[in-house]
Structure 1
Amino acid sequence: MKTTDLVGSAISNTFRSKTRMLLTILAIFVGAFTLTLTSGLGTGINAYIDDTVSGIGASNAMTVTKTSGDADAGFGGDSGPAEYDPDAVSAGGFGPNGGGTVTAMTPDDLDELASIEGVTDVHATKSISPDFIQHDGGTRFVVSVGSLVPGQTTQLSAGVDPDDTTDAYELVLPTSYVDPLGFAGADDALGATVSIAITDANREQHVIEATVVGVAEEALASPNGTSIIPNDALTDALFETQNIGVPADQVDRYAQATVWFDENASDDDIAALKDRLADAGFTGTTVADQIGAFTTVIDGIVLVLNAFAIIALLAASFGIVNTLFMSVQERTREIGLMKAMGMGSGRVFSLFSLEATFLGFLGSAVGVVIAMLVGTGVSAALADSLLADLPGLTLIAFDPVSIATIILVVMVIAFLAGTLPAARAAKADPVESLRYE
């Protein structure tokens, strides 16, 4: 029997007992359906994180803070309260010390960072705390100041990013501030002048006016919820105004800095750079470190859900074994006749193995197609409702390679499940099989 005839015979034999075939396919369908949905969930969320990495920072940038000499001590910590450090500054929301304090970085520290092997550039992050923002004498609203490093982007609903090459004061306004400040919409806010109040060290309040050049959408990884994004000129003006009255030796103190390294650096190169920073008394955190917790949790959840799908597929494999054993039993005389006519044991084994594989293909194909339809529908519905505040998120996305892999995995499981009854059929004695009643 030719290979094409063998395949055709296996496919036609699969449909001999339609009820039994449908029940077996249904069991496979449940596993393939679940596996496809959970895989799509992981693909969708991880793709969204990858797409919004630019909202956290450039992939070849590292956030650096100065390592505290008593890093383990802190209020409520195992070591008791930390000793007073006159060089400590608020860490704000930065790094692992967010909400606490870190040792301030000085210009000398920035120079030392620049001299470390592997560091190509250094930029200090200026911490600015304005009092409020106001438009045309209207209501005053509390606001914070965010900052972007090269390679970091904002998702704009209108306008452009602020120009760092101009001396004019420009900013990007969060979309949540458009209506409260009295604008009819994002486009209406473009070109408008807003007032930012900031208090100096002498407790005197100053007002700086800036032009709105863009409106930023809210994003998972961007500082746009309550933060304006100023250009360099406005940042410098706010920082200098805030430090009026501060002793000269206390002005240039920073909670953190950003260092850049070769964009082609390998993981080993980055790890070595972190070690060199640590030896110099600094702690470095990359973008990958910052999003690592997100992806770890997501991958863990997907792995657990996939485990349930695999259990369903294993249960379906018992159905395949049962189906083929019954098929072998019912076709004993047929097997004997095929062997008597010269079909070898290997061909008989292949015939029943192909039947099992075809069952796996049917069940997985149906499960994958329906899962893609359901997943696409659910994702679209959530994007317009619960996930409307996360633009660009496709909760359940499907990767062609993953889909093909799922189908192949299910077919392999079906093939393995069919080996036992196929081996039994291959070992059948033709004389005894022909005598079987």
Structure 2
Amino acid sequence: MVRKIFLVIACLFLHMISAGMSLSFGVLYREMRIEFGSSQSEAAWIASIFNGLLGLLGIPLSFITNKIGERWPAVCGSVLLSLGMLTSIFATKMSNVYMTYGLLAGLGAGISHYCGYTVLTPHFDNTWRPVAMTVAGAGIPLSALILPPVLTILIEQFDWRKAFMFLACLSFLGIPAGLSFFPPKLHIDSGSESSPGQQNSWKLSLSRCLKNLNYMLYFVTTCVVYLVAYAPATLLPDLMHEFGRSSSEVYSCVMTMGACDLVGRLLSGFLVHKIPSKLALIHSAGIMVLCVSSGLIALSRSIGTFVIMSAFLGLGSGCFFGLHFVTSAQLLPVVDVRFGYGLVLTFGGLSLVAGMPLAGFVSDHFKTERGAFIFSSILFFIGSLLELITGIREVCGQKSRKSYAMESVENTSYVTGEEFQVHSKKRDDVVVVDSSYI
């Protein structure tokens, strides 16, 4: 149990230095845009490439981690992330930052982000998995709480290049975090005669995913929401500056968003721990909170309204991102989680790449940041409705396949021999997948 706790802490730190940095990029985004004289849509490509690579690597990483596990990919990801931050110091134009921060650091962040979630799946049972995953994911809002004031001080005392130097040193600490990953101790059922190669086939995993209607609804929801998932956090500083708010007021709102994101993740995780059957409904409610707060913050003027709406943006964001991987783990059997989540992340990454420039284009077209927030609100509303359909299907018992929790059939009193044999095969699948650590 102690090793599992340290594993969760290691994953929390990896999320802090990967996806967590994207929420703090708004501080650097404005400084670089001013120095290089770039438009909103041009500068948005930096965050777009970085955020897109958080997902685009999903499918390749699912193959790699099935072969060698998450330990060494996580170490390599931390090295790439650190190198990307370090080389950004020497950028002389915006196109340089596309390659250093966007591409190189984005590759490292994408690898670390993926491994920080999938490594947890076999280590926890159905009851504690949502809690472990949301606690690990809490590293993202913790980063949004800690990094903005630190980066602000570095920028004010020195410049944004020194801020990148600090981020490079911080990213390097992800190496020991990755090295702390360890293989789960799972019981191997020798009674299963099925072929491990066949069980672990990506084609079979793809077929099962495509036949799972609830998973496909989750897939479409991800693609829609990811178009603007990071737009509020990235564009909020510019929106507030547009209405004459000071830097201290901006960062108070950013920190409020980060604190409420943390609360949203932990709260949603414990809610699902208590009522797992309502996972999709809770997820849908979180996206709806994002929808309403994104629309209302575009109409804000006073600092009090900005703080309140930032709090709701954080709660909604925490609920959505905190339960995103948990949803994948519940809708799919263990053997398909890596591939299924990788598939969702890859296409979600494409949405992230297109989304930020699209939001920046909307801002440039309407000559105000409010356009991007209203655009985001519309897409959040569509995503919430799609996830609501999944929730209704689950509540009504119309699932396209058994939920993740139903796989522990040997613990029930009505298990048949055939059901136990199926479960044994699934357990062999898990052992085959996670023996890649060794």
TM-score (norm 1): 0.25
User: Which protein has the bigger helix share?
Assistant: 2
Q: What's the TM-score, normalizing by structure 2?
A: 0.25
Q: Which has the higher strand share?
A: 1
